Amino acid sequence: MLARFRIGDLNCTAVSDVEQGARNVLLIEAPGRRILIDTGAGSAHPGTPGLLVERLKAAGIEPWSIDSVILSHADFDHIGGAIEAGRPTFARAEHFILRAEVEFWRERPERLRPSPNYDEAFRNLVNSLPPTAIDALSDVLQAVEPGTEVAPGIALIAAPGHTPGNAVVRIVAGGDELLVAADLLYDPANIKDPDWVAIYDHDAVQVVKTRRAILRQASANQTLLMLYHLPFPGLGRVADDGAGWSWTPEALPPA
Ligand SMILES: [Zn+2]
């Protein structure tokens, strides 16, 4: 599943990494440069293997033709597709991630604690894939500070809470703006409740602060957002209705 749209003069393609549910990856084609934001789950998740590479190839885009990969954070469903058989999938690409995210995972944190809500195999995947992938990417991974521009108008902005080094990617081109907000919100039912947090949010206090700040700004400026786990392609705008926010999906012209 692909959806094409433009931000200024940038050709953007949203690619679904899954058949069911949502993992919305973004490909940006800037002049002479292909940039991918997040990489799906790859082959790591046996239940819902990542379809990103297959779908890019079907669209005529080979993995070696990707110049840059930006990782919003290192949870398995965002970084898993960056590694295949222990090697970088996008072999020629420089990979960018916030330094705080690399430092968080280097400590091998227990991201998910034991719980009757999921089995041990899933918990192991969530906890062990990210540091393993970060190690496997070490030759091509740049741990950068917030504000770093990967290309003109494309910058990683700190959005801590979901994970300590979570980033929102701001894309500004020709008067248009898109905030790729990844996992800032991941359940459409909860957008209206600004204090909602879930087990996947590492810091429940910080995540609410970050979410409020970004959503307040996005709603005031009517900024286009792209969210990773909202129904494909995950594009829409938020409006502040006083107590919370409402989400209006952005209708795209047929590709
Ligand atoms: Zn996610």
Ligand 1 centroid to residue 62 C-alpha, Å: 24
Ligand 1 centroid to residue 231 C-alpha, Å: 13
Beta bridge mates, 116: none
pLDDT of amino acid 193:
86
> Which residue type sits at 34?
R
Exposure string over 184-194, b if 16+ CB within 10 A, otherwise e: bbbebeebeeb
- Residue with the bigger pLDDT between 228 and 44: it is 228
Query: Cα(252)–Cα(3) distance, rounded to whole angstroms?
Result: 8
Tokens of 178: 């898109």
Rounded mean pLDDT, 40-52: 89
Ligand 1 centroid to residue 75 C-alpha, Å: 6
Ligand 1 centroid to residue 129 C-alpha, Å: 13
Transcribe the chain into DSSP letters. -EEEEEETTEEEEEEES-SSS--EEEEEEETTEEEEE----TTS-SSS---HHHHHHHTT--GGG--EEE-S---HHHHGGGEETTEESSTT-EEEEEHHHHHHHHT---SS---TTS-HHHHHHHHHHHHHHHHHTTTTEEEE-TT-EEETTEEEEE--SSSTT-EEEEEEETTEEEEEEETS---GGGTT-TT---TT-S-HHHHHHHHHHHHHHHHHHT-EEEESSSSTT-EEEEEE-SSSEEEEEPP----
Ligand 1 centroid to residue 183 C-alpha, Å: 5
Ligand 1 centroid to residue 56 C-alpha, Å: 20
21-44 confidence digits (pLDDT tens) = 899 999 999 988 999 999 999 998
Tokens of 38: 């997040």
Ligand 1 centroid to residue 170 C-alpha, Å: 18
Ligand 1 centroid to residue 145 C-alpha, Å: 21
194 has pLDDT over 80: no
- Residue with the bigger pLDDT between 110 and 157: it is 157
Query: Cα(180)–Cα(184) distance, rounded to whole angstroms?
Result: 9
Ligand 1 centroid to residue 8 C-alpha, Å: 27
Ligand 1 centroid to residue 217 C-alpha, Å: 22
Rounded mean pLDDT, 135-147: 98
pTM of the model: 0.96
104-139 confidence digits (pLDDT tens) = 999 999 998 888 888 888 899 999 999 999 999 999
254 has pLDDT over 60: no
Tokens of 77: 């469903």
255 has pLDDT over 60: no
pLDDT of amino acid 118:
84
pLDDT of amino acid 28:
98
Ligand 1 centroid to residue 228 C-alpha, Å: 7
Residues near ion ligand 1 (Cβ under 5 Å): 77, 183
Ligand 1 centroid to residue 236 C-alpha, Å: 17
Query: Cα(162)–Cα(140) distance, rounded to whole angstroms?
Result: 25
- Residue with the bigger pLDDT between 184 and 65: it is 65
Ligand 1 centroid to residue 34 C-alpha, Å: 22
Rounded mean pLDDT, 79-91: 97
Ligand 1 centroid to residue 91 C-alpha, Å: 23
Neighbouring residues of 75: CB distance < 8 A, sequence distance ≥ 6: 111, 126, 130, 163, 183, 200
